[in-house]
Amino acid sequence: MPGTPLLGRSNDDDSKYILTAVMNAAIHFENIRKTLGRREVLRGVSFDVASGDVFGYLGPNGAGKTTSIRILLGLLRADSGEVSILGRNIDRAETRMDIGFALDPDGLFDTMNALENLNYYAQIYDLRNPTSRIENLLGTVGLADRGEDQVRTFSRGMRQRLALARAMIHDPSVLILDEPTAGLDPTARIEIRTILLDIARRDEKTVLLSSHDLDEVQRICNRIALIDRGVIKLYGRLDDLRRSNAPNSVRIETESEVPPAALAEIESCERLGFREAKGRRLLFEPAEGTTGLADVVAFLAGLGVLVEKAERGGSSLEELYSSILEEVEQR
């Protein structure tokens, strides 16, 4: 995609940014290759996650996300490349103690209650007197009153929250989460999202999460990497990537769906740069310096279209994701 910064690591102009990121990286993943069977799953994948980031790792099924995570956790060995966490080799015991993770399956024991599950993992990490730690974690994930309930009675959302508590039992600096909201209803997704943001901000954790939920990633992640077929296609600060791909776009949300006659008038006005209508949402990309947000709103008002929300901004994450993958399909 022309004009997109940080497409993988091939652009020499990005070298200064990359060196800066590496110096402050909580997670460093450099030129990783991995073949499983006859398929090269990762083909020179590189990205950095800076300390304090909530980093979204995106891609379709089979893109290489889970393989990357297993390499980060030491569950798989890379064929080549360099991996470090907090500047240390991932094979060192002190490095592993600084990593918390939640995968699928969630690692919880159905016939134990929540307290017993967390006590079990506290013993694995050789924690002494973990009672207050466990109580605090159950409160953090909203399960303070369910400590003595067997996990088999928990909903999927409750299990995910307990899995987060399990991942944090030893107070790690880095959390690695594989699809933490997969299969959850909207309420449960919001609960998990709120918990993750609270953890990242209050406890200053670095979070890497893989997800198919683009809305979730857009709401909580400050930086992203998009992987497809084992190659990083998009990488950088989400706000910067969005602005760079549609620097002069205007987004409008109307009070009701625009009538066909009014929509025809909008489409016929070339200076507005109308691109699409989805329900009550309209997207415009006027040529730079010709038409601004106020002009678009005034034009709509003249047609009797009531505007509920108007903003300048770049492409949505969904649009970025779709455009990158469509570009790959066309090659």
* Distance of alpha carbon 73 from alpha carbon 28, whole angstroms: 13
Best CA proximity match to 9, nearest among 23, 26, 21: 21
Residue 8 has pLDDT above 70, yes or no: no
What ranges in 73-151 are assigned the alpha helix state H?
93-96, 114-124, 131-140
96 with 74: CB under 8 angstroms? yes
Please give the average per-residue pLDDT across 215-231, as a whole number.
90
At the second CATH level, the architecture of 12-243 is 3-Layer(aba) Sandwich (3.40)
CATH 3.30.70.100 residue ranges of the chain are 248-313
Enter the tokens of residue 127.
């924690």
Enter the tokens of residue 84.
């470090």
Query: 286: left (phi > 0), else alpha (psi -120 to 50), else beta?
Result: beta
pLDDT attached to residue 49: 96
DSSP state of 286: P
Three-state SS string over 38-83 comes to CEEEEEEEEEEEECCCEEEEECCCCCCHHHHHHHHCCCCCCCEEEE
Confidence of residue 238 (pLDDT cuts 50, 70, 90): confident
The pLDDT tens digits of the residues spanning 281-303 come to 898 888 766 778 889 999 999 99
pLDDT attached to residue 103: 92
CATH 3.40.50.300 residue ranges of the chain are 12-243
Residue 239, φ and ψ in degrees, nearest 5: -60, -40
pLDDT attached to residue 284: 87
Residue 10 has pLDDT above 60, yes or no: no
Confidence of residue 118 (pLDDT cuts 50, 70, 90): very high
Please give the average per-residue pLDDT across 305-310, as a whole number.
92
Please give the average per-residue pLDDT across 149-173, as a whole number.
96
Enter the tokens of residue 177.
């989460």
Residue 35, φ and ψ in degrees, nearest 5: -110, 130
Half-sphere exposure of 222 (CA within 13 A, CB side): 13
pLDDT attached to residue 89: 92
Whether CATH 3.30.365.10 fits 248-313: no
